[in-house]
Chains A and B, each alone.
Chain A
Amino acid sequence: MYAYDEIDRTLVNERVSEFRDQVKRRLSGELTEDEFKILRLQNGVYLQLHAYMFRVAIPYGTLSSDQLRRLAHIARRYDRGYGHFTTRQNIQFNWIKLAELPDALADLAEVGIHAMQTSGNNMRNVTSDQWAGVAPGEIEDPRIWSELLRQHTTLHPEFSFLPRKFKIAITASDHDRAAIKIHDIGLRLVKNEKGETGFEVLVGGGLGRTPFIAKTIKHFVHGRDILSYVEAILRVYNQYGRRDNIYKARIKILVHELGIEKFSREVEDEWQHIRGSSLQIDDEVIEDIRSRFSYPAYEKLPHMPDELRQAAADPAFEAWRKNSVASHKVQGYSIVTISLKPVGGPPGDATAEQMDALADLAEKYSFGEIRVGHEQNLALPHVAKRDLPALWRALDKLGLATPNVNLISDIIACPGLDYCSLANARSIPIAQELTRRFANHELANLIGRLHINISGCINACGHHHVGHIGILGVEKNGEEVYQITIGGRADENAALGNLIGPGVKFEEVADVIEDVVEAYLALRERPEELFIDTVKRLGVEPFKERVYATR
């Protein structure tokens, strides 16, 4: 955990008081809605279909128990008793009142949480691997660098009015859980031949109506130069990114239009001017940030404790353990993913009661730490293996032990037409129906790893392009129509899915997905061949034939 010091606290409090003044000026009419809109967006406040929506940042997905309790308090005190975890390590509250927002922000500030730059055309919440610091085989903890970048991007005097939003994600593992290739800047921690820490820098990834997988702009940027290199990219983008058309304003379009070679030359030129400047980070500064991350005092524990051996006899526990529990870098400990995808529920929602209870469980079993992942699930990052059975029983009582992590009902979905003013179609009800169709755990297990992603419009908040199965809702002649793609993925082998055929109506979506899955079960070479690998081997055609033959 990173602990705010007086300096960080002061800045967040200053921001809250600035926003309080802005809200007051809006309510008195001193600020027009057009002026206020940008200011509220910079504080994470959207005007949605029914009410203001409030998006709170969870930088690099790390929360303490106290912070999670405070989010529960916000849900209870200012909203309707629940929150929605998003694909970018944020939490959203859907029913907030404008006049109460400054108080909500002040309550959050007390525990070191803010909502700065969770929307608007600025540098958004810096995201990272939700297993950062605990995953085996990491180069080093990417949160040190994430925090450096969080600070650097916060209220940046040059880049707070960019052509469009700008998202940075960081990973330090070979297996990319942070989806860096679909970000404006993706950073992968690497070591050079001298053993020094640096980054492979990728640029220009993104989804939306013109999806691109990010391209490598530089294979190695030394850690001390990362702020100047990022600043160089941003400066080129701020000056030359398109501002004439909102749909062409993301950096991916600039990279695409210039070509990665020309773009990287522009960045290189700019970087040569600033790389040795005060942006260079010396070791002492990095060590200072590192020193304010606290790490648990792990015990020396056996690899296979008796408690775990005994619990293995319970098939319900085993079903959960097999897909929710992952290896930890320290022997005797595990990383536990907590599914926020119950059968029939909206993906990513948690009630205030669940958040409070989880905060308690984290204190009891995970050194008071909780993580938030882009798959809209939570995780407890440091659970002693001996505690797994007790933790499972407690989670089960809270409705948080659905054994479906990484299975077909672990669906990523945006809020869709039920909440969002941009949406053309509903997302949540599609997800809910699919979780019911695939509620049978044996069937889900038989299918194996399969990610379904649903977006209710082309803006792609549900990342449909990179779902193994992607579902995109559009509006056609006043009706909701859903386009289905297969073969996408968001990890280190990121790829965009391909359409399998004409769009289908709301009522037919679940049937079509069932047909796609049946086709896969018939087409796979052996049970271990994952859906995504079968699609890669065979392409779209055999799926298309089977799914559309009778339609």
Chain B
Amino acid sequence: MPLVKGGKIADDTFTRLADDAPLPASGDILVSADRFVKDTDALLARAGRLGVIWPNNRDIEELVPHLARLAAVALVFPTFRDGRAYSQARLLRERYAYRGELRATGQVLRDQFVFMLRAGFDSFEVRKQADAEAFAQTVKRYSVFYQPTGDGRITALHRRMQLRHSEGVGT
């Protein structure tokens, strides 16, 4: 499954570690929420970066005390019809100021890219190769956004205000 990061297809430095697999001494690993909660200290103590795969029905606040030490949080779209992870993503970015990698996993399709970017995701495990290749094109599809989110894009309402003021200056 291709990973899109920084706007283009990239190598995934993270390895998914099964819950019963021995902990490797180094390297970047992604672990389940269960393993993370059970073994937090050991996981954080090792060399190599740590990411957690957080299910969409588990309260994100549980993760908050550890955010500063996490290199990646992977949120899950079991199907693309299930939008819970959008709320989790916005909470992580906008309320808890999480700045690490925020990864979309599961059924991630081209048609969600813009929504996901706006919610704060910055890396994507894309289901289809063609979708991953179309990333840069797809995210340029929209230039107008009605809602303010943490991605900082200016909303239509505020763009109108700017236009109105700049017109005012000109006359």
Interface residues of A (CB under 8 A from B): 5, 7-8, 10-11, 14, 17-18, 22, 30, 35, 38-39, 121, 151-152, 154-162, 235, 238-239, 243, 273, 277-279, 281, 284-285, 288
Residues A157 and B148 in contact in the complex (CB < 8 Å), given A243-B82, A273-B95, A288-B160: no
A279 to B94, CA, bound (A): 13
Q: Is the CB of A121 within 8 A of B81?
A: yes
Q: Is B109 in contact with chain A by the CB < 8 A criterion? A: yes
What is the minimal beta-carbon distance from B18 to any residue of chain A, in angstroms?
A: 27
- In the bound assembly, the distance between CA atoms of A38 and B145 in angstroms comes to 21
Across-interface contacts of A157 in B (CB, < 8 A)? 86, 114-116, 118-119, 145, 147, 149
- The interface residues of chain A lying within 8 Å CB-to-CB of B144 are 7-8, 10-11, 14
Contact of A14 with B143 in the complex, beta carbons under 8 Å: yes
Q: How far is the CA of A7 from the CA of B156 in the complex (A)?
A: 7
Main SS class of interface, A? helix
Residues of A within 8 A of B143 (CB): 10, 14
Contacts of A7 in B (CB 8 A): 144, 156, 159-160
Distance of B159 from chain A, by nearest CB (Å): 6
> How many angstroms between the C-alpha atoms of A31 and B147 in the bound complex?
28
A120 — nearest CB in chain B belongs to which residue?
Answer: B81
* Binary A-proximity of B103-121 (CB < 8 A = 1, otherwise 0): 0000001010011101100
A12 CB to nearest B CB, Å = 9
Contact across chains for A11 and B156 when beta carbons are under 8 A apart: yes
Contacts of B148 in A (CB 8 A): 277-279
A284: B residues at CB distance < 8 A: 161
Q: Which chain B residues border A277 with CB–CB below 8 Å? A: 148
B81 and A161 contacting across the interface, CB-CB below 8 Å: yes
Question: How far is B142's CA from A162's CA once the two chains are assembled, in angstroms?
Answer: 21
Asked if B87 is an interface residue, CB under 8 A from chain A, the answer is yes
Residue of B nearest to A22 (CB): B111
Within the assembled complex, what's the spacing in Å between the Cα atoms of A284 and B147? 17
User: Could you list which residues of chain B lie within 8 angstroms of chain A, going by C-beta atoms?
Assistant: 80-84, 86-88, 90, 95, 109, 111, 114-116, 118-119, 130, 141-149, 155-161, 164
Is B160 within 8 A of A5, CB to CB?
A: yes
Q: Which residues of B have CB within 8 Å of A235?
A: 87
CA distance A158 to B118 in the complex (A): 8
Contacting residues, chain A, for B130 (C-beta < 8 A): 30
A39: which B residues are within 8 A, CB to CB? 111
Say whether B160 contacts A158, CB under 8 Å.
no
Asked whether A158 and B161 contact (CB < 8 A) given A151-B156, A238-B84, A243-B82, the answer is no
Measured in the bound complex, the distance between the Cα atoms of B164 and A39 in whole Å is: 35
Question: In the complex, what residues of B have CB within 8 A of residue A152's CB?
Answer: 146-147
- Please state if B80 and A161 are interface contacts (CB–CB under 8 Å): yes
Contact of B147 among A17, A121, A156, A238 (CB under 8 A): A156
Contact (Cβ within 8 A) B87 A238: yes
Rounded to whole angstroms, the CA-CA distance of A46 and B88 in the bound complex is 30
Q: Is there contact, CB below 8 Å, between B164 and A288?
A: yes
Bound CA span A306–B141, Å = 58
Q: Which residue of A lies closest to B120 (CB)?
A: A157
User: A11-B146, A279-B148, A288-B164 given as contacts; is B141 within 8 A of A17 (CB)?
Assistant: yes
Chain A residues with Cβ below 8 Å from B146 are 11, 151-152, 154-156
Q: A35-B80, A38-B81 are in contact. Are A285 and B161 (CB under 8 A)?
A: yes
Contacts A157-B86, A160-B83, A285-B160 aside, 15 further interface pairs with beta carbons under 8 A come to A7-B156, A11-B142, A11-B144, A30-B130, A35-B80, A155-B115, A158-B119, A158-B149, A161-B80, A161-B81, A161-B86, A238-B83, A238-B86, A238-B87, A288-B160
Q: A156 CA to B141 CA in the complex, in Å? A: 15
Name 6 A/B residue pairs within 8 A (Cβ), A-sorted.
A7-B159, A10-B143, A11-B142, A14-B144, A156-B146, A157-B115
Cα distance, A83 to B164, chains bound together (Å): 39
Q: Which residues of A contact B160 (CB under 8 A)?
A: 5, 7, 285, 288
Q: For A227, give the chain B residue with the smallest CB separation.
A: B147
A300 smallest CB distance to B (angstroms): 33
Neighbouring A residues of B82 by C-beta, 8 Å? 161, 243
For the complex formed, measure the closest distance between the CB of B76 and the CB atoms of chain A, giving whole angstroms. 13
Query: In the complex, how many angstroms separate the beta carbon of B73 from the nearest chain A beta carbon?
Result: 16
Contacts of B95 in A (CB 8 A): 273
Which 3 interchain pairs have the tightest Cβ spacing? A161-B83, A157-B118, A278-B148
With A38-B80, A162-B83 as known contacts, state yes or no: A151 contacts B141, CB within 8 Å. Answer: no
Contacts of A38 in B (CB 8 A): 80-81
Contact of A151 (CB < 8 Å), options: B88, B118, B157: B157
Q: How far is the CB of A278 from chain B (nearest CB, A)?
A: 4
Nearest CB of A to B55, in Å: 12
**Complex: A438 Cα to B142 Cα, angstroms:** 53
A106 to chain B, nearest CB (A): 15
The answer to whether A35 touches B109 (Cβ under 8 A) is yes
Q: How far is the CA of A17 from the CA of B141 in the complex (A)?
A: 8
> How near does chain B come to A349, taking the closest CB pair, in angstroms?
33
How far in angstroms is the closest Cβ of chain B from A161? 3
Quick one: closest B residue to A157, CB to CB?
Answer: B118
Q: Which residue of B lies closest to A237 (CB)?
A: B87
**A contact residues around B161 at 8 Å (CB):** 284-285, 288
In the bound assembly, the distance between CA atoms of A476 and B29 in angstroms comes to 57
Q: Which of A159, A277, A278, A281 has the largest count of B CB atoms less than 10 A from its CB?
A: A278
Q: How far is the CA of A160 from the CA of B88 in the complex (A)?
A: 14
The answer to whether B83 touches A159, judged by C-beta atoms less than 8 angstroms apart, is: yes
**Cα-based distance from A288 to B115 in the complex (angstroms):** 27
* A278 and chain B: residue at smallest CB distance: B148
CB <8 Å contact, B115 and A239: no
* CB-defined contacts of B114 to chain A, threshold 8 Å: 155, 157
A282 to B86, CA, bound (A): 27
Tell whether, in the assembled complex, residue B109 and residue A158 are in contact, meaning their CB atoms are under 8 Å apart.
no
Distance (whole angstroms) from the CB of A268 to the closest CB of chain B: 16
In whole Å, how far is B62's beta carbon from the nearest beta carbon of chain A? 14
CA gap between A288 and B165 in the complex, in Å? 12
Determine the distance from Cα of A278 to Cα of B149 in the docked complex, in whole angstroms. Answer: 8
Point out the residue from A155, A158, A273, A281 that lies within 8 Å of B83, measured CB to CB. Answer: A158
Whole-angstrom distance between the Cβ of A330 and the nearest chain B Cβ: 30
Q: Report chain B residues within 8 Å CB of A10.
A: 143-144
Looking at the complex, which one of A11, A22, A160 makes contact with B115 (CB distance below 8 Å)? Answer: A160
Enumerate chain A residues within 8 angstroms of B141, measured Cβ to Cβ.
14, 17-18
- Give the docked Cα–Cα distance between A214 and B127 (Å): 40
A278 CA to B146 CA, complexed, in Å: 12
**A495–chain B nearest beta-carbon distance, Å:** 34
Q: Which of chain A's residues has its CB closest to B165's CB? A: A284
